[in-house]
Amino acid sequence: TSSYTGSWATCDPCGSSGRQGICPSGFHIPTDLEFSRYEWCIETTISPTGSTPLSTFQTTTYWRGDNSVAGPGHKMKVTSSHSPSWDGSNVSGFTALPSGYRENLGVFYGLGGHAVFWTATEYSPTYAWYRGLLTANYQSNRTINFKTFGHSVRCLQN
């Protein structure tokens, strides 16, 4: 069982409406709403702060949040002193690694420059919502992808 610290485990988790899935007992894969509220929470409560409204995080697709060190992507990515290194501050404790992703034909992309995380929320029988982080971008990406793609998951404490 993993132990989580920092605001990832506690910042506005919105209850436990996600799915346990592969997560250990007492944890779940966060929903699209939970992920949105988390991104908003770390942007607006952890210094330096941004001012993106919660409604933008909840309803806007693609890149959201402040595109500076106040943005959620910057606060979620590991630092340059981490191994592997990335261009974040990790002040949220999320510790996103540039792990890349696997597309539906089995080809891997983005190692060293992307991190992609599924949410527990389906968009349709074929698609689900995910979050993405990218080198040189301090925002977070909210969009859908084929469920056949291989993305990481993060477990949120209930």
- Interatomic CA distance for residues 156 and 101, integer angstroms: 20
pLDDT at 2 over 70: no
Buried b / exposed e along 115-142 (16+ C-beta atoms within 10 A) = bbbbbbbeeeeeebbbbbbbeebbbbbb
pLDDT at 119 over 90: yes
Which tens digit of pLDDT belongs to each residue from 71-110?
A: 999 999 999 999 888 999 999 999 999 999 999 899 999 9
Looking at residue 4, its pLDDT comes to 40
HSE-CB for 155 with a 13 A CA cutoff = 16
**Mean pLDDT value across residues 37-54:** 93
Cis preceding linkage at 72, omega within 30: no
**Which residues contact residue 45 at a Cβ distance below 8 angstroms, ignoring those fewer than 6 apart?**
7, 11
| Of 7-11, 45-49, 84-88, 126-130, the least confident | 7-11
- Interatomic CA distance for residues 103 and 12, integer angstroms: 31
**Mean pLDDT value across residues 24-38:** 90
Question: In the structure, what pLDDT confidence band is assigned to residue 12 with cuts at 50, 70 and 90?
Answer: very low
For the record, the structure tokens of 148 come out as 């056949």
Q: Rounded to the nearest 5 degrees, what angle is found at the Cα of 100, between the Cα atoms of 14 and 82?
A: 80
Mean of pLDDT over the chain: 87
pLDDT at 46 over 80: yes
